[in-house]
Structure 1
Amino acid sequence: MTKFNKKTFFLMIMIMSTVMVMSSNKWLSVWMGMEINMMMTIPFMFQNKSKELSEKIMTYFLTQAMGSIILLTSIMMKTYNLNFMIVMFTTTVSMMIKMGIPPFHMWMPEMLNKMDWITLLIMITLQKINPLIVSSQLTEQNNLLNMMMITAATVGSISGINQLSLSKIMAFSSINHMSWMMMCMAMKNNLWIKYFIVYALITATLCLTFNKNMSFYMNQLNHNMMNMNKMMMLTMMLNLGGIPPLPGFLLKWMTMESMMVSNYFFMMTIMIFSSMVTLLFYMKLMYTNMMLSSTMTKFKLMNHNKQLYLIMLINLITPSILLI
């Protein structure tokens, strides 16, 4: 079996485990689906025999195993009809560990640093689905959810300001966007699903662009990048930051409208300011990239990457269909 076929096989099982969690009505089968998902992610991370990579895989495994143990403990507590609030607290903490929500986030940026872009894309999109589905079932009388939103919004925005690694910037951006999705959950609507789809599309476009240009640090964005690729990356960064009239803004606008209806004014203020801070490091990322001219020849500029442009077009059109 070739390397491509192996990864395709693992990806299919990962998607099937996600479907298993989505369709399950038993906590034990939810735990089993999350365990399968975790084990199928490790082959994506394993690229070569190096001490650094082995350390990252072990960090990921131990962190996810800790979250699974806490989840399994809360399932056992629920079976013996213990205090509802204690069960809710332990289950929420296990999901925070799995998603990398502050204060349990320290493993995530360090592990994703210098990871290849396809693996990073899977980690910050597909790996978030199962914990988000479980968290959406825990919104009833869950006071811990408000703390999760505030810490994710503030830490995800402030920690990304001084970062030079693109992997860490995407990791902290993911933490910040998790707070918006959890806010949608707190208002007991399914807007978080639409938000996640749009976020996944934008992140996929950026990660594939970084992967094509072999860029891992901010100073590498200026080299060997075509002008059209620069414009596409700027559009996606503005989309991720929530600048009108792009789809990323429309979703944040709808979330803020629901927050005002539900009287979440204090939370809305924190979320807006944190979103402005994330926009700061998005623009810092693109400033030098847009100001400096391309190092490639004019004839080379005609060789556009049609696949990435098609993905960007889908990225801009699909959210409009979701919001109808």
Structure 2
Amino acid sequence: MKFYKLMFFLLMMSGTLISISSYSWIGMWMGLEINLISIIPLFSKINNMYSSESSIKYFITQALASMIILLSIIMLSLNNEMFLMMKKTFILTMNSSLLTKMGAAPFHFWFPEVIEGLNWMNCLIILTWQKIAPMVLIMYNFNFNLFFCLIILTSMLISMFMGMNQISMRKIMAFSSINHIGWMISTMFSSKSIWLIYFIVYSIISLNIILILNKFKIFFLNQLLLLMNNNNNLKLFFSLNFLSLGGLPPFLGFIPKWLTINELIKSNFIFLSFSMIILTLFTLFYYMRMILSILIINHSNKLNFNFKMNNFLIFSLNLFTISSFLIIPLFFNML
């Protein structure tokens, strides 16, 4: 990694940490701005107009959301009676801006378009690290249950419909992320610790998938099908990771969803949890369609990849996914 990229990467991480550990709204806003300024040079690449286009789209959207957050902070700090009456409106506006920053539906318009122009490592940053600060800030003023219920259900519906006909792996991962954003927001109704478990598990599974896709420079579904043609080990690892991402038992990705549903039912959000389960089944459909294509269809155009599990990071992370066959039953028995 080049020195300037390492410097901006560390600055990006420090911006997020400043934001989530600040005692004032202005400090949180400053952390978000440091994070935004630092990530743009990581996205931009010389002689690649797609990454430059994504950088501009990302910057405009995030700057607009930051401006609305700053306006909301200023209005909330005023002691005027009229502004105090509109306090709920400004908190709602701030939450909407934070949802825009993380890419939750219906504020997701920028998310798939930005991801489509980036390489896999930058996609991983947007899918995981960039969600931390907005979600933690939403936890600080989490109210308006009906508003967040609508956001959760909209995220589920958008990811279901928009992900059905995608052939781009980056867009599939983006709409999958929108679905998981809905689940992560729902964890805030009951327990913040479950949000942390969900986020860590989601990040591990996304890292698993993206490491494989990045290693073989796979960006579209037909490239993936050709790659998997003669690699049985790779077929197994990749299929298990997507089943885990969908939240099927007994895979690792089932633990946070099970905990979330359990807490939602305890908190009497029965209709919400039922709707989330049903809508996530449709998301699981396009995972299963992709997995069945990989496992069943034998393509005549063969690419000669001599794949060996010599990459320690890929091997160990995928082994962790498979070992969840043992971890989850033991976890259930302990509970």
Normalised TM-score (structure 2): 0.89
Is the Cα contact below 8 Å between 2:51 and 2:117 reproduced in 1? no
Identify the range of structure 1 (50-59 vs 195-204) with the bigger mean alpha-carbon deviation: 50-59
Structure 1 pair 283–17 and aligned structure 2 pair: CA distance change class (3 A): same
What is the CA RMSD across the aligned residues, in angstroms?
2.3
Task: Trace 1:95-106 onto structure 2 (pairs within 5 A).
Answer: 95-106=98-109
Amino acid in structure 1 at the alignment position of 2:14: M
Deviations 1:120-172 (A, max 9, x none): 00011111111011111122345321111111111112210110000000000
Give the secondary structure class of the aligned counterpart of 1:210.
Answer: helix
Residue in structure 2 matched with residue 43 of structure 1 by the alignment: 41
Task: Trace 1:1-324 onto structure 2 (pairs within 5 A).
Answer: 3-81=1-79, 82=84, 83-225=86-228, 226-292=231-297, 295=302, 300=306, 302=308, 304-315=310-321
The alpha carbon displacement at 1:6 in A equals 2.4
Amino acid in structure 2 at the alignment position of 1:200: S
The alpha carbon displacement at 1:310 in A equals 0.9
The alpha carbon displacement at 1:282 in A equals 0.8
Structure 1 pair 297–57 and aligned structure 2 pair: CA distance change class (3 A): closer
Structure 1 pair 12–315 and aligned structure 2 pair: CA distance change class (3 A): farther
Identity of aligned residues (%): 33
Give the distance between the partners of 1:167 and 1:187, measured in 2 at CA.
32
Structure 1 pair 197–302 and aligned structure 2 pair: CA distance change class (3 A): closer
Is the Cα contact below 8 Å between 1:102 and 1:152 reproduced in 2? yes
Give the distance between the partners of 2:3 and 2:226, measured in 1 at CA.
33
Give the distance between the partners of 1:316 and 1:269, measured in 2 at CA.
28
Give the distance between the partners of 1:34 and 1:315, measured in 2 at CA.
33
Give the distance between the partners of 1:86 and 1:301, measured in 2 at CA.
56
Give the distance between the partners of 2:257 and 2:308, measured in 1 at CA.
36
Give the distance between the partners of 1:127 and 1:215, measured in 2 at CA.
23
Structure 1 pair 143–47 and aligned structure 2 pair: CA distance change class (3 A): same
Is the Cα contact below 8 Å between 2:19 and 2:133 reproduced in 1? yes
Structure 1 pair 16–292 and aligned structure 2 pair: CA distance change class (3 A): same
The alpha carbon displacement at 1:84 in A equals 2.4
Structure 1 pair 85–317 and aligned structure 2 pair: CA distance change class (3 A): farther
Structure 1 pair 296–136 and aligned structure 2 pair: CA distance change class (3 A): same
Is the Cα contact below 8 Å between 2:124 and 2:210 reproduced in 1? yes
Structure 1 pair 301–118 and aligned structure 2 pair: CA distance change class (3 A): closer
Amino acid in structure 2 at the alignment position of 1:70: I
Is the Cα contact below 8 Å between 2:184 and 2:195 reproduced in 1? yes
Is the Cα contact below 8 Å between 1:92 and 1:135 reproduced in 2? yes
The alpha carbon displacement at 1:189 in A equals 3.4
Structure 2, unpaired ranges of 5+: none
Amino acid in structure 2 at the alignment position of 1:78: L
Structure 1, unpaired ranges of 5+: none
Deviations 1:36-59 (A, max 9, x none): 111111112111234443322111
Is the Cα contact below 8 Å between 2:242 and 2:287 reproduced in 1? yes
Identify the range of structure 1 (140-149 vs 166-175) with the bigger mean alpha-carbon deviation: 140-149
